[in-house]
């Protein structure tokens, strides 16, 4: 990760520059002391009005806040918070949030996947057995919309009116576990159906080509050691046990922040 700013700022005064960094993780100070946890930052940033949080940055490497294509502002806060728990990260070790997974999911849901364009979606509808697979009337996009509303309502009821994004990390984790174990009742479908799609899409966003908006700066690929889609390993295939040292590359090249519109 490149380091654009090596001077650690004071906690309070640094908020906006940190927010700026959130928009462009490649500028996060890699040597900064960990006095300001990513978790607290996320909560603080989420609490700010959206218009203030990101466009206020003046860093030269900043990029404009990406327009959402599917989620509402509230839904997006849920996705940011939930994916940040599913694959946690910080400034030195990016997780789902730093890698742009919410951007990825937002774009996927407004596209052919979100609309289930390739799926057979004719009735009649029946629950079926586990072996018969997905039998919900909801497309993935509809599943998210309904589930997020349901989970936020569930959280508000139990946590003094707070939606999921404002819960403590521990409480957020517990909600995710409860979703996965079907302990939360959603109106139209089992909670686990939503959890499994959310977790699948989170992994996809973390590990797919950066041109889709996630895996920003190859964060996911760097974590595991995948050098990206490369054309030729004729020489390397028999260099048994040797590390492969070329830096990651994506389908749009070495710049892991480029997205395809």
Partner 1 sequence: MAKRLKPVDVVLVGFGWTASIIAQELTEEGVQVLALERGMDRATVPDFATTHIQDELKYAVRGGLFQAPVRETLSFRNTRDQTALPMRNLGSFRPGAGVGGAGVHWNGQTWRFLPDDFVLRSHVEERYGAGFIPEDLTIQDWGVTYEELEPCFDRFEYLCGVSGKAGNLEGARQTEGNPFEGARSRDYPLPPLERSIGSLMFDKAARELGYHPFAAPAANTSRPYKNPLGVQMGQCTYCGFCEWFGCGNYSKASPQSTILPVLLKKDNFSYRTGCDVTRVLLDNTGKKARGVLYRDLQGQEYEQSAQLVILCAFAHHNVHLLLLSGIGTPYDPASGTGVTGRNYAYQITSSVEVFVDELINPYMGAGALGQAIDDFNTDNFDHGPEGFIGGGYIALWTTGGRPILQHHLPKDTPKWGAGWKKAMAENYLKSVSISTHGSVVSHRQAYLDLDPTYKDIYGDPLLRMTFDFHDNDYRMSDFLTGKAEGVAKAMKPRSINVKGRKKPYSIVPYQTTHNTGGAVMGDDPRTSVVNRYLQSWDVPNVFVVGACNFPQNAGYNPTGTVGALAYWAADAIRGMYLKNPGPLVQA
Chain positions 57 to 86 lying near partner 1, rule: CB under 8 A, are: 85-86
Compute the C-alpha angle 74/77/78, nearest 5°: 90
CA distance 243 to 220: 18
Cβ at position 225, least distance to partner 1 in Å: 5
Give the one residue of 7, 12, 51, 130 binding partner 1; rule: CB under 8 A. 130
Please report the sign of the dihedral spanned by the C-alpha atoms of residue 142, residue 52, residue 39, residue 22: positive
Q: Which residue from 88, 142, 153, 162 is in contact with partner 1, where contact means CB under 8 A?
A: 88
Among 51, 67, 73, 224, binds partner 1 (CB under 8 A): 224
Helix 140-158 vs helix 191-207: crossing angle, to nearest 10: 110
Task: Measure the CA dihedral 85/198/68/44, to 10°.
Answer: -20
Select the span of 16-24, 42-50, 63-71, 233-241 touching partner 1 (CB under 8 A).
Answer: 233-241
**If binding is defined by CB under 8 A, does position 87 make contact with partner 1?**
yes
What x-and-dash track marks residues 143-182 binding partner 1 by CB under 8 A?
Answer: ------------------------------x--x---x--
Q: What's the closest the beta carbon of residue 50 comes to partner 1, in angstroms?
A: 27
Under 8 Å between Cβ of 85 and 176: yes
In the list 22, 212, 216, 217, the residue contacting partner 1 (rule: CB under 8 A) is 212
By CB under 8 A, residue 208 contacts partner 1: yes
Please state whether 236 falls in left (phi above 0), alpha (psi between -120 and 50) or beta: alpha
- Of 172, 169, 141, which is closest to residue 154 (Cα–Cα)? 172
The answer to whether 261 contacts partner 1 (rule: CB under 8 A) is: no
207 part of the interface to partner 1, by CB under 8 A? yes
How far apart (Å, rounded) are the C-alpha atoms in residues 140 and 56? 34
- Assess contact for 98 and 216: CB atoms under 8 A: yes
Task: Count the residues of the shown chain that bind partner 1, applying the rule CB under 8 A.
Answer: 58
Q: Does 118 bind partner 1 (CB under 8 A)?
A: yes
Q: Which of 34, 188, 236, 255 binds partner 1 (CB under 8 A)?
A: 236
Q: In the complex with partner 1, which residue's Cβ is closer, 74 or 117?
A: 117
Restricting to residues 176-205, name those near partner 1 by CB under 8 A.
176, 180, 199, 202-204
Core vs surface per residue 210-237: b (16+ CB within 10 A) or e: bbbbbbbbbbbbbbeeeebeeeeeeeee
First-to-last CA distance in the chain? 24
- For partner 1, the binding residues (CB under 8 A) are 85-89, 95, 112-113, 116-122, 124, 126, 128-135, 173, 176, 180, 199, 202-204, 207-209, 212, 220-221, 223-227, 229-234, 236-238, 240-244, 251
């Amino acid at each position: 990760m490149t380091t654009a700013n090596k001077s650690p700022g004071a906690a309070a005064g640094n908020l906006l520059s940190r927010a700026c960094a959130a928009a462009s993780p490649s500028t996060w100070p890699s040597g900064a002391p960990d006095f300001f946890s990513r978790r607290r930052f996320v909560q603080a940033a989420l609490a700010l009005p959206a218009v203030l949080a990101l466009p206020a940055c003046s860093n030269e490497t900043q990029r404009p806040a990406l327009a959402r294509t599917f989620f509402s502002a509230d839904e997006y806060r849920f996705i940011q918070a939930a994916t940040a728990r599913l694959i946690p990260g910080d400034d030195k070790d990016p997780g789902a949030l730093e890698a742009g997974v919410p951007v990825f999911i937002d774009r996927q849901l407004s596209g052919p996947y979100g609309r289930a364009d390739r799926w057979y979606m004719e009735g009649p509808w029946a629950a079926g057995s586990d072996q018969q697979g997905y039998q919900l009337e909801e497309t993935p996009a509809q599943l998210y919309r309904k589930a997020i509303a349901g989970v936020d309502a569930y959280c508000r009821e139990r946590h003094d009116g707070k939606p999921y994004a404002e819960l403590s990390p521990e409480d957020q984790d517990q909600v995710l576990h409860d979703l996965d174990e079907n302990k939360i009742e959603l109106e139209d479908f089992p909670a686990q159906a939503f959890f499994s799609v959310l977790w699948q899409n989170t992994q996809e966003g973390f590990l797919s080509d950066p041109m889709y908006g996630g895996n920003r700066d190859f964060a996911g690929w760097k974590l595991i050691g995948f050098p990206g889609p490369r054309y030729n390993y004729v020489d390397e295939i028999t260099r048994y046990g040797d590390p492969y040292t070329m830096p990651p590359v994506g389908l749009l090249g070495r710049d892991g922040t480029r997205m395809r519109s």
